Structure 1
């Protein structure tokens, strides 16, 4: 039987439309396929095709009490389940990450299918749930050690211009001392000061179009008002966004026994590329 000679360009186009699980196996076919599949250009093209063709789905992470197991569940594909929506489960198993070394790590935000996890100053990592790979970053310390900080608040985003992922560690004290790390061959934490708008982070980050957003409390404000902070991943700059008074008036109060506490930890959501 005469072998079929498929042009390389056509092979790449076929590979670009395969799921990650299949690509992970097909790296063993040949050295050429392995180099193609693991190249940065192929990964970016595969990501763009996957995100443009697939409808948005809800992904939820569950961890047990001691943090030794992490299970991801996903809402069903609305296209595949449209004919039998009434009988479809609300969530279906997606990935069991119990075998990945995530013990004791807290899940922070996501960016382009990757998950930022951390536990203190020496266990910051990025997890790829599709391949179960875990990339750990080097340990770091803040200069200001006068405040007891059980763990920093981590923000994770992607720079589409320089094609680079970055992790921001926000200091949970009045000095707003922050550090940022860029992925690459030489990974090291460096200073990312936010002098103009010192703040306390209140929620995890939300990545959207090269910028990460998170809820915060302004330190310089007399009443430490609630604000939204934005972090430009490429320029590594901060910007403060005031929350409209109409939105602030909708924030509810939670009965805490003898006192009422303002519920300020509402998460930010990306709704059709708009911040809500």
Structure 2
């Protein structure tokens, strides 16, 4: 996020600080834990706009990775989520947070994550996926995939990865004889055919912008 953009947002309704430079405020916010960011969203509309900004989210995530902080997202049977610091299990970064989309609060299933984004699936549906950022509580319901229907086999595996070349996030869902890829930038699904006859087990591994499929199969 550029300095001018930060200054513009902090200037909403005279919220610019006289004593603290705007770039200093931004610098401090990018280094705060998730629990603090969620609390500081209510300080002002300007702070909320900054914390919810996609570019700020990327910078905050890179700062977290640079500091070596590893976090664990725990889903409770009651539908609540907790964020914990793996290096300090007693430190709860976020506690008893419900998934913001009410109709999925009791049926949200964590599938995988990448760069702080979590792929959620409605466990009662074969075709409904949601990308969620627990840090900002923002989410995006993905368009229903036209290639997944009741006539197909249930998805065998799915993955989420970042395509750094295109600055895009992609969701991969693998079925028996084909797989589909969703582009967050384009907002659409593409189908790819595969030649395997039967899958015993699949695993999708995302490394940077590369999605690797580890497949055990029989013919």
Change (3 A) 1:169 1:212: same
Which residue, out of 25, 28, 45, partners 2:59?
45
SS in structure 2 of the partner of residue 216 of structure 1: strand
Higher helix share: 2
Question: What is the CA-CA distance between 1:53 and the residue it aligns to?
Answer: 0.5
Aligned equivalents of 1:75, 1:32: Cα separation in 2: 28
Equivalent in the alignment of 2:192: 192
Whose relative contact order is higher, 1 or 2, with alpha carbons under 8 Å and at least 6 apart?
Answer: 2
Aligned residues: 198
Unaligned runs of 5+ in 1: 79-87, 225-276
| Superposed CA RMSD | 3.4
CA contact (8 A) 2:126 2:149 kept: no
1:69 maps to 2:72: no
Cα deviation 1:214-271 (Å, max 9, x = unaligned): 43224xxxx55xxxxxxxxxxxxxxxxxxxxxxxxxxxxxxxxxxxxxxxxxxxxxxx
1:19 maps to 2:23: no
TM-score normalised to structure 2 length: 0.70
Unaligned runs of 5+ in 2: 1-16
Cα deviation 1:62-118 (Å, max 9, x = unaligned): 453xxx62544646535xxxxxxxxx76x9685434454243343211111222121
Change (3 A) 1:117 1:62: same
Change (3 A) 1:110 1:99: closer
TM-score normalised to structure 1 length: 0.58
Matches within 5 A, 1:1-276: 4-57=18-71, 59=72, 61-64=74-77, 69-72=79-82, 74=84, 76-78=86-88, 94-98=94-98, 100=100, 101-118=104-121, 119=123, 120-142=125-147, 146-147=151-152, 149-151=153-155, 153-171=157-175, 173=176, 176-184=177-185, 186-194=186-194, 200=199, 202-218=201-217, 223-224=218-219
CA contact (8 A) 1:105 1:123 kept: no
State the structure with more CA Rg.
Answer: 1
